[in-house]
Every structure is written in C-alpha cells, then in structure tokens.
C-alpha cells in the first residue's frame, strides 16, 4: 500500500478522532473521508487502536520538530520581552495549525500517553529559563500556563465563540507575563 494511501487515511483519522474522540470515531467514516474502503483501512492498520496510535505517533514527531525549531534563541534579539512575544505568537500559530492533534491530546488524556505534554513542557520551560535567567518564576508553571492559554485561544478561534478580542488577549498575555518576568 502506498505512502500516499496511508497519509490520506491518517489525515482523515486525525480529523475524525479530533471531532468525535476515540470512542465516537467510526472506522467507516474515517475510510469514507479518506476516499478508501474500510477494508483498505483495516488491511493497513489492522485495528482502530493501531490507527489511533499511528495518528498520535506521526503527529507527535511533526509537532515536536516544529516546537524544537521555535525554541531557539535569536542571538540578534537581546530584549527578553521581544523573545517572549515572538515565542508566544509563533506558538499560537503552531497550536492553531495543529489544533486537531492538540484537541486529541487534551480530550483523550486517558487514551494518550502524557509524554507529549511532558516533553513539550520540559522543552518550553528550558527555553523560558534561557530567555529569563535568574528570575523568581517557575518556568514549568509558566510553560503550563502558556500551553493552557494557547489551547483556550485556539479553541475559541476554531469554535467561533470568541467572547472577547482574541488578538488583544494574546497581546495582553504577552505584556502581562513579560512585565512579571522583568521584576
């Protein structure tokens, strides 16, 4: 079976698992959305669980590559607030671009290893320590706050239920936390 076939099935599965969760996802629907038969899906992945795990693995690798490319200090930028602002804006884009995967991670906690969240938090907290050395802020707590905020903002954008100006909220988040980190 071609890689193209597998990728189409994985893309369809990502959408269906994100929208319906693991339990609510139907392999028949995934097959239809991918343009293949359910038999093709099972020939390639054997079980729904194998397909779910493959979706998680493939997307985890891709997302972590993107995260690692963002978590690099820009030597030309010496202002921590500017570094922080750039980081948050890039992470907003990253979460928005990968919302379906992030949504699965959040809502399928029982079916997903915590390792992706732990790896993200670890990488982000180390980067925050580089931007803001010797500050009285726990970088791990800040990393969790950032991740929660990013999900909240993106969820509101995706559902269209913005109760406030989302761009302004991002700017205020950046400004507030930058000032806290300057103290």
Q: 28-59 pLDDT, tens per residue?
A: 999 999 999 999 999 999 999 999 999 999 99
- pLDDT greater at residue 61 or residue 1: 61
pTM, rounded to two decimals? 0.83
C-alpha to C-alpha distance for 10 and 22, rounded to whole angstroms: 14
User: Look-up: residue for tokens 């997903």?
Assistant: 112
Q: Using an 8 Å Cβ cutoff, are 30 and 61 in contact? A: no
Alpha-carbon torsion, ordered 171, 173, 176, 181, to 10 deg: -110
Q: 130-140 pLDDT, tens per residue?
A: 887 776 788 89
Domains present along the chain, CATH in parentheses: 1-46 (1.10.10.60), 56-182 (1.10.357)
14, pLDDT greater than 80: yes
Coil, helix or strand at residue 113: coil
Q: Using an 8 Å Cβ cutoff, are 22 and 108 in contact? A: yes
Provide the pLDDT confidence category of residue 1 given band limits of 50, 70 and 90. Answer: very low
Provide the pLDDT confidence category of residue 107 given band limits of 50, 70 and 90. Answer: confident
C-alpha to C-alpha distance for 76 and 20, rounded to whole angstroms: 45
């Amino acid at each position: 079976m071609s890689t193209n076939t597998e990728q189409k099935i994985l893309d369809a599965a990502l959408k269906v698992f994100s929208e319906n969760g693991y339990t609510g996802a139907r392999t028949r629907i995934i097959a239809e959305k991918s343009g293949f038969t359910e038999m093709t899906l099972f020939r390639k992945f054997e079980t729904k669980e194998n397909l779910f795990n493959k979706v998680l693995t493939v997307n985890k690798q891709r997302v972590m590559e993107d995260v690692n490319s963002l978590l690099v200090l820009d030597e030309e930028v010496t202002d921590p607030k500017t570094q922080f602002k750039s980081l948050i804006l890039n992470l907003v884009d990253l979460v928005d671009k990968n919302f379906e995967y992030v949504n699965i991670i959040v809502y399928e906690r029982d079916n997903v290893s915590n390792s992706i969240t732990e790896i993200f938090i670890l990488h982000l907290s180390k980067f925050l320590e580089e931007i803001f050395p010797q500050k009285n802020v726990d970088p791990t707590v800040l990393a969790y706050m950032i991740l929660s905020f990013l999900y909240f903002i993106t969820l509101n954008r995706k559902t269209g239920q913005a109760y406030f100006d989302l761009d302004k909220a991002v700017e205020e988040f950046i400004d507030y936390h930058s000032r806290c980190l300057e103290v």
